[in-house]
Amino acid sequence: MMRPLLPPGDYEAMRAAFRWPAPDRLNMADQACHDWARTEPGRTALIDAETGAHVSYGELAAMADRLAHAMRAEPGERVAILRTQSPWTAAAHVAIWQAGAISIPLFKLFGPEALGLRLRDAGVRTVVADPEGREMLAPFGLRVIVPEDGLPEAGGFPVAATGPDDPAVIIYTSGTTGAPKGALHGHRVLTGHLPGVELSHDRLGQPGDCLWTPADWAWIGGLFDVLMPGLALGVPVVAARMPRFTVDGCVDLIARHGVRNVFFPPTALKMLKAADAQVPGLRSVASGGEPLGAEMLDWGRRAFGLTINEFYGQTECNMVASAAGTVFPPRPGWIGRAVPGFDVVVIDDAGTEIDGEGDIAIRRTSAAGRAGSMFLGYWNRPEETAEKFRGDWLVTGDRGQIDDGYIRFVGRDDDVITSAGYRIGPSEIEDVLMQHEAVASVGVIGKPDALRTEIVKAYVVLRPGYAAGEELAKQLQDHARRLCAAHSYPREVAFLDALPMTVTGKVMRRELRKLAEGEG
């Protein structure tokens, strides 16, 4: 049973007093479920928006026990989860962790290429899915467990005696310069998220708090910024399957289930703002993925009656910086300040902390102890893990500035595309498009977009015998949507006679971005 980690006092007092817990034994199944089930089994853990049912910690623990018996996973085995938001999705992670295995969340909008890449890379043999997911997994010849089919009743399942650095979860990055990489995290990753989640929700864990996010639990933002911290802190989490985000559906869900704390991706905020929606009754709103300007913050105060708190992090080390309107004043255009327990600075190429613009970096170990949400490394990629660090600093790949402790995001130092809250790597989309018989070469970039921040745009060079046009562009879009993912297919396709290339034969995406910006 977890209690809030942030010490009392103002921001400086919190930073000075904070220390990371360092237990010898730690298992997230206990933190998120079983500790509460032992002490307050009737306490509400989840609210199933589809049925209206309140799932208690005792019920969640029993679901996890049944799944753990059915899976028979070995310690260290990788078990994937292909489901949307639901109580069984939460139970699946708990069951995997209590068995000492490693959970791998997968996105339901992935196509077969994206799914297969991750399943093969992690060596997955078993997947927990829903009925739709079972059909998606049919080509892979894996063992698929669908809880909705029914599971035999079973007694308790022991929680493995794991430690903070024992592997627990692999979350795949978007993949910017090649195939997506699996960021491997230990059991301390949930503890590592708590201070940032507490701060971004103005000390989450107050009486009456109830959490929800439209972000899918397959991503680190949904899984560890909302679901697991809520469960660990005893805050009910709403599980809502929204196949498509709508303003009316969002407002209705919040009112119907008494939601008081929301993580909204920036695109959701933009849609709410465009509709001039009013959402009363909230105590906190957090957002991450891109900076919010003064206009959005002003609108948020009118629409929600509170200040939207921005936060910052990445799959490898998340929730490291945040705004907190009740702790220190927001600074429009700036993300916020380093979360207690994390040192976030700007460094130069030599790894030296500097003033002015530089690479945003996170110290591996600070005075408070080892950065709680720091990953263990990329799955089976030791060289790429080493390349992620510059001395004791994890280099985020983002450029930024720091002033009076406030962090300003300047831009990405790589080719990642930020679209509707998703981080999308161009290489995977390019690989899929190259499989089409009409494509000779392709370059994929993010094109600025008012609603989504960026949209995916593909520049294609055709093979002889194929004619450019709207019909072929649609064929390529459908091809990418089917094989890659519905959220990452190119919303625009343009045809070129040749791509800008380096002398070593690499696509110069910066030149394509200039071209896209010139198109308006």
Residue 38's identity, in one-letter code, is R
Q: Where in the chain is the domain with CATH 3.30.300.30?
A: 417-519
pLDDT at position 156 is: 95
Q: What does the alpha-carbon distance between residue 500 and residue 498 come to, in Å, rounded to a whole number? A: 7
pLDDT band at 484 (very low <50, low <70, confident <90, very high): confident
State the DSSP code for 49. T
Q: Which residues pair with 393 in a beta bridge?
A: 363, 390
Per DSSP, 353 falls in state B
Q: What percent of the chain has pLDDT over 70?
A: 97
The pLDDT, as a whole number, for residue 178 is 57
pLDDT tens digits, residue range 269-281?
888 988 889 999 9
Q: How far apart are CA 170 and CA 315, in angstroms?
A: 10
Mean pLDDT over 340-348 rounds to: 96
User: Who wins on pLDDT, 486 or 135?
Assistant: 135
Distance CA 451, CA 55 (A): 36
Whether 201 contacts 261, CB under 8 Å: yes
CATH hierarchy code of domain 417-519: 3.30.300.30
Q: How far apart are CA 439 and CA 425, in angstroms?
A: 19
- What would the pLDDT profile of 65-91 be if each residue is shown by its tens digit? 999 999 999 999 999 999 999 999 999
The answer to whether 363 touches 393, Cβ cutoff 8 Å, is: yes
The confidence score (pLDDT) of residue 426 equals 82
Sorting pLDDT into bands at 50, 70 and 90, what band is 520? low
pLDDT of 139 above 70: yes
CA distance 418 to 412: 10
Reported in sequence order, the residue ranges of 463-502 that DSSP labels E, i.e. its strands, are 492-495
| pLDDT (mean) for 285-291 | 85
Q: Which residues pair with 274 in a beta bridge?
A: none
Indicate if the pLDDT at residue 307 is higher than 50.
yes
CATH number of 27-37+56-161+173-187: 3.40.50.980
Residue 282 tokens read as: 């909230």
Confidence of residue 413 (pLDDT cuts 50, 70, 90): low
Strand partners, 320: none
pLDDT in tens, 385-395: 999 999 999 99
Is residue 474 very low, low, confident or very high in pLDDT (cuts 50, 70, 90)?
A: very high
Question: Does residue 415 surpass a pLDDT of 60?
Answer: yes
pLDDT > 90 in the chain, percent = 73
Using CB atoms within 10 Å of the CB of residue 155, give its burial: 0 to 12 exposed, 13 to 18 middle, 19+ buried: exposed
Alpha-carbon distance 163 to 186, whole Å? 8
Instruction: Enter the DSSP assignment of 158.
Output: P
pLDDT at 175: 57
Q: Quick one: pLDDT band at residue 504, thresholds 50, 70, 90?
A: very low
Q: How confident is the model at residue 267 (pLDDT cuts 50, 70, 90)?
A: confident
pLDDT of res. 414: 65
Which tens digit of pLDDT belongs to each residue from 221-231? 999 999 999 99
> Quick one: pLDDT at residue 506?
63
Q: Could you tell me which residues are beta bridge partners of residue 453?
A: 419, 449
Instruction: Enumerate the CATH 3.40.50.980 domain ranges in the chain, comma separated.
Output: 27-37+56-161+173-187
> For residues 433 and 476, is the Cβ–Cβ distance under 8 A?
yes
Q: Would you say residue 101 has pLDDT above 90?
A: yes
Q: What is the mean pLDDT of residues 396-424?
A: 82
The 3-state DSSP composition of the chain as helix, strand, coil percent (nearest 5) reads 30, 25, 40
| Average of per-residue pLDDT across 122-133 | 97
Position 194 confidence tier, pLDDT thresholds 50, 70, 90 = very high
**Average pLDDT of the residues of the chain:** 92
Which segment of 181-185, 281-285, 461-465 scores lowest on mean pLDDT?
461-465
